[in-house]
Chain A
Amino acid sequence: MTHAPSLSATNPTPTSAGGFFRRFRSAPSEPDAAKRVQFNSPLLPYLFLAPQMAIIFIFFYWPSVQAIQSSFYLEDPFGFGSTFVGMANYTDVLKSGEYLSIARFTAVFTALVTFFSLAIGLLLAVKADGIIRGNATYKTLLIWVYAIAPPVAGLMGMMMFDQHIGPLVKVAAFFGWNMQVGLNYNDTAFAMIVVSVWKQIPYNFIFFLSGLQGIPVPVREAALMDCRSGLRRFWTVILPLLAPTAFFLLIINTTYALFDTFGVIDVMVKDKAANNPITLVYKVYMDGFRGNDLGGSSAQSVILMIIVFVLTIFQFRFIERRVHYN
């Protein structure tokens, strides 16, 4: 859970995102000596780095090491000591049918949330970009959802899907769908995905909109003269030029769906009947803090860390290759 905030905090803007990734790739080959800052003392740069390094160390490396360590032990629930059990925590987890079904749900949930929040965010951004009159109002209305904290969003979502007063349940009932969020596994999953997507759309909207406005007007005009179909122009010119933004958002949204939806899930499934969908990160929390199985919970969080690690490498390796940076 700890590494999610630190990842999103490093990339506040799309331009710095592009720059961030680009610097990654071309820093050794670009000798820009003119811009290099000279320090009088060799210790000074390390001093400047220290606060950030301290934060990363205290909130990421240290807990990670602890998690790895405790994943090999069986902790006494009352804190009276621990027993070394080797890989037992891992094998238990991976053999558990419940864990595997949660993993499957997490994969589906992450894929759907990422896809829909990116797609809807992009659609709204493209439409907002085309508007000339009143676009400030339109943008503000779309953006302010982002200011809502995840648990509040979860709560609002819960109200929308409430059995008795939820307007969305009534709409569903109109179409003959007896929606029972909190009781029915699929209905809860549906509500969870809808609320998570809704919460993330404004974020994607802002980035896509600023990405769109970064595309030079003459390039769009040239495309206008070269290509009649608006849809085809979008696929062949606009979208490729948005790729750096889209790639950045893909990583951020994957992380969001995996970790930051915790608050939404918590509000939706807490105090509800047992058979509700949860994601891996929520399972880590349940086993560790509700079930007091710190060893098993640690093993799960290490597995989760490895999954995210592999996923991120995959994204950089195979998707970023197709991204064109200006």
Chain B
Amino acid sequence: MAAINITNVSKIYAGGVEAVKSVSIDIADGEFIVLVGPSGCGKSTLLRMVAGLEAISKGTVEIGDRVINDIEPAERDIAMVFQNYALYPHMTVYNNLAYGLKNRGTPKAEIDARVAEAARMLEIEQYLSRKPRALSGGQRQRVAMGRAIVRKPAAFLFDEPLSNLDAKLRVSMRGEIKQLQKRLGTTSLYVTHDQLEAMTLADRLVVLNGGQIEQIGRPLDVYHTPASTFVASFIGSPAMNLLRGTREGTQLHFGSQVLDLGRAPAFPGQITVGMRAEDLRVATSGDQSLTMKVDYIEELGAQRLVHGTVDGKKLTASLSPEIDIGETMALTIAPERLHFFDADTGKRFGQPFANTGYDRLSAPAIKLEAAL
């Protein structure tokens, strides 16, 4: 068990491509950190640098009090769970679990005890004498987890461990990983491209884009105060609606349509306005409203996603199934539920109604120094 400090880490490939650009993350002991982002954002590269499978071009990674940049992967006191399980196909499940311990000269009795404990925790006791090919995907994933657990490492690294499983199994394994991590209290770094997985697992999540950190924060903070249009559109499903508009006085203009904010926010004319689908509601008489032309509806059971356009721009609203849907609908939103972003940089305008102007959001107690 240990803290992990990633300081100004960069990955520069031969040819000058910079996959990770000066990323810094401080992970507390026992914390569950999820790296999330689209493919090619550098999240796996970052994880693999911590694991020792990729060389660190710049910066330092510390696990506990050791700088591990030049330490062999096997000696970093970490265990990794791979996307496609990466079990040793020629070994039985028992030997898959025991292999790492044997190589470290752990006494036989201790190996037996640890394997038995991990197998009990993961409910794979009856498969210990089988080869991996005789197991289902979910069972293989458990074995892969077991291989990490028996080592009792300072940190777990997960590289999209659930993406090869079917949807239902993914949800249940997600829960199990979370519980297991809480129970063992082992510091974990988890990579995924699935924002839902990131939201549900993370103590804090790190949103990466183009090799840089867009935002670090607790899942709900990131959801409710996204630092940029990128985060806003990446975290949350359906994605946050982002409309280009202009502010004139207290009014927001979307083409011909107008919302009055009642107060004048402290930012310039051209802005991007963000609205969560669930914050939109049907306007009653007397409300000011935006008129949406309805294109199609997705029924989710508990709610219904209504897709349409406002002034030619796409908008999605999450409405109760009891509400009747017409050809056009008048929608409204509380002004404090609106998110404002710089139209050019996509950065969030913090505190839209206080007169603090343009300040970037940062969650407390977090070192956020991606070179922006």
A41 touches B (CB below 8 Å)? no
Residues of A contacting B325 in the complex (Cβ-Cβ under 8 angstroms): none
A38 touches B (CB below 8 Å)? no
How many residues on the B side are at the interface (Cβ–Cβ under 8 A)?
Answer: 25
Interface 9-residue window, one of A187-195, A227-235, A289-297: A227-235
A225-B78, A228-B74 known; A324-B89 Cβ under 8 A: yes
Q: Which of A216, A219, A225, A240 contacts B74 (CB 8 A)?
A: A225
Q: Which of A221, A225, A241 contacts B89 (CB 8 A)?
A: A241
A224-B73, A228-B75 known; A237-B88 Cβ under 8 A: yes
Q: Which of B52, B78, B88, B131 contacts A222 (CB 8 A)?
A: B88
Interface 9-residue window, one of B79-87, B254-262, B280-288: B79-87
CB nearest to A239 among chain B residues? B90
Residues of B contacting A224 in the complex (Cβ-Cβ under 8 angstroms): 52-53, 73-74
The smallest C-beta distance from B165 to any residue of chain A, in angstroms, reads 16
CB nearest to B76 among chain A residues? A225
Residues B86 and A236 in contact, CB atoms below 8 Å apart: no
Residues of A contacting B72 in the complex (Cβ-Cβ under 8 angstroms): 228
Residues A222 and B82 in contact, CB atoms below 8 Å apart: yes
Residues of A contacting B51 in the complex (Cβ-Cβ under 8 angstroms): 221, 225
Residues B103 and A228 in contact, CB atoms below 8 Å apart: yes
Residues of A contacting B52 in the complex (Cβ-Cβ under 8 angstroms): 224-225
Q: Which of B86, B90, B147 contacts A324 (CB 8 A)?
A: B90
What residues of chain A have their CB less than 8 Å away from a CB belonging to chain B?
216, 218-219, 221-229, 232, 236-237, 240-241, 243, 324, 326
B64 touches A (CB below 8 Å)? no
Residues A326 and B89 in contact, CB atoms below 8 Å apart: yes
Q: How far is the CA of A216 from the CA of B132 in the complex (A)?
A: 14
Residues B53 and A221 in contact, CB atoms below 8 Å apart: yes
B:280-313 near A, CB below 8 Å? none
The smallest C-beta distance from A293 to any residue of chain B, in angstroms, reads 51
Residues B90 and A216 in contact, CB atoms below 8 Å apart: no
Q: How far is the CA of A164 from the CA of B186 in the complex (A)?
A: 73
The smallest C-beta distance from A322 to any residue of chain B, in angstroms, reads 10
Residues of A contacting B80 in the complex (Cβ-Cβ under 8 angstroms): 221-222, 225
B120 touches A (CB below 8 Å)? no
What residues of chain B have their CB less than 8 Å away from a CB belonging to chain A?
51-53, 72-75, 78-80, 82-90, 99-100, 103, 131, 133, 147
Q: Which of A225, A228, A236, A240 contacts B79 (CB 8 A)?
A: A225
A227-B100, A227-B103 known; A241-B75 Cβ under 8 A: no
The smallest C-beta distance from B131 to any residue of chain A, in angstroms, reads 8
Residues of B contacting A225 in the complex (Cβ-Cβ under 8 angstroms): 51-52, 73-74, 78-80, 100
The smallest C-beta distance from A52 to any residue of chain B, in angstroms, reads 32
Residues of B contacting A324 in the complex (Cβ-Cβ under 8 angstroms): 89-90, 131
The residue among A216, A225, A226, A232 with the most chain B CB atoms within 10 A of its own CB is: A225
Q: How far is the CA of A223 from the CA of B86 in the complex (A)?
A: 9
Q: Which of A218, A229, A232, A243 contacts B86 (CB 8 A)?
A: A218
Residues A241 and B90 in contact, CB atoms below 8 Å apart: yes
Residues B103 and A216 in contact, CB atoms below 8 Å apart: no
* Cβ-closest 3 pairs across A and B: A218-B86, A226-B100, A324-B90
The smallest C-beta distance from B160 to any residue of chain A, in angstroms, reads 11
